[in-house]
Amino acid sequence: MGSQLVSAIANRAVILVPYLWLFIFFLVPFGIVLKISLSQTAIAMPPYLPVFGFGDGVSGFIANLRELSFDNYLWLLDDALYFNAYVSSVVIAGVSTFFALLIGYPMAYGMARAPESMRPLLLMLVILPFWTSFLIRVYAWIGILKPEGLLNQFLLWVGVIDTPLQIMNTNTAIYIGIVYSYLPFMVLPLYATLEKMDFSLIEAAQDLGCPPTTAFWKITFPLSLPGVVAGCLLVFIPAIGEFVIPDLLGGSQTLMIGKTLWNEFFSNRDWPVASAVAIVLLLILVVPMMFFQRAQARAQEQGR
């Protein structure tokens, strides 16, 4: 009897404990962000006027509802800075994702074709940089890209260029940073699908006279599409809200929404506007995130 009771409690706890934790520390905070995005800025600590006390009962709740202001959102619409930041974040993330795919696909393909004994080592080599600090990996590029940096020194020494290239503090530096940091996220799902692929299909196609490029586009690429989708989403989604890379490599000129949010919060101390920026960013990300979750769920179904 006793042990049955224990296991019944344990069964509940397995679900309830992580559920409650995520509810309190993941879902509730979003409610608060939404609430504060609708409140007014104030010079106080915390720097916003409270709305929505839950202690005032229904009538108080309705009175509070009237006081909600969409001023912060109108402000976002009003100032072209925010709109441009959103657009340029999506563009930068898109371009970086494309280049990550361009570099990551041949790598994953090469790994999948490698002798089986070599594959664990290659896999390890892809995963290892992911364990190394993100900040450190971005920092490493500063020394390489700056005007008197190692890349320019090398190119000047070889004689390809006469004057140092200005790469640091441009969008190019951000592309390099994002592709570099997120490349493992692209390679891993690609490798996972390519490794399972039956390469005898290609041999069959080639035996029947199909040129290698056609065979690739007609067989390999379509079969690896789940990996392509997963890899692209894993790079694209976090890249949109990236802060460290545009801040360290992009300089003051670049517009990215993660940086805008950071500045709103830390420099301007405007919490309501920062919250509104976060809510709009979330709305932009909802669609690709749903795709991601569906892809994850489907992969799970297949794994079962």
State which of positions 181-210 bind another protein (CB under 8 A).
183-184, 187, 199-200, 202-203
Contacts with another protein in 51-80 (CB under 8 A)?
A: none
Contacts with another protein in 261-300 (CB under 8 A)?
A: 261-262, 265-266, 271, 274-275, 278, 281-282, 285, 289, 292-293, 296-297, 300
Report the candidate in 118, 100, 110, 117 with the shortest Cα–Cα distance to residue 230.
100
Give yes or no for a contact between 278 and 264, defined as CB atoms under 8 angstroms apart: no
CB-nearer residue toward another protein: 34 or 95: 34
Shortest CB 57 distance to another protein, Å = 20
Burial class (CB in 10 A: 0-12, 13-18, 19+), 114: middle
- Sequence-ordered alpha helix ranges (H) in the chain: 2-22, 28-37, 57-67, 71-78, 80-113, 119-131, 134-145, 150-158, 171-196, 200-207, 212-215, 221-223, 225-240, 244-249, 257-266, 271-303
Q: Rule CB under 8 A: is residue 122 a binding residue for another protein?
A: yes
- Using CB under 8 A as the binding criterion, the count of chain residues that bind another protein stands at 100
| Contact characters 221-260, another protein, x per CB under 8 A | ------------xx--xx-xxxxx---x---------x--
Give yes or no for a contact between 205 and 215, defined as CB atoms under 8 angstroms apart: yes
Q: Whole-angstrom Cα distance, residue 137 to residue 236?
A: 19
Structure tokens at 282: 């979330």
Contacts with another protein in 26-45 (CB under 8 A)?
A: 26-30, 32-33, 36
Q: Rule CB under 8 A: is residue 46 a binding residue for another protein?
A: yes
Choose the stretch contacting another protein; rule: CB under 8 A; options: 17-25, 54-62, 68-76, 217-225. 17-25
The total number of residues shown for the chain amounts to 304
Q: Rule CB under 8 A: is residue 134 a binding residue for another protein?
A: yes
Q: Which of 76, 86, 146, 178 binds another protein (CB under 8 A)?
A: 146
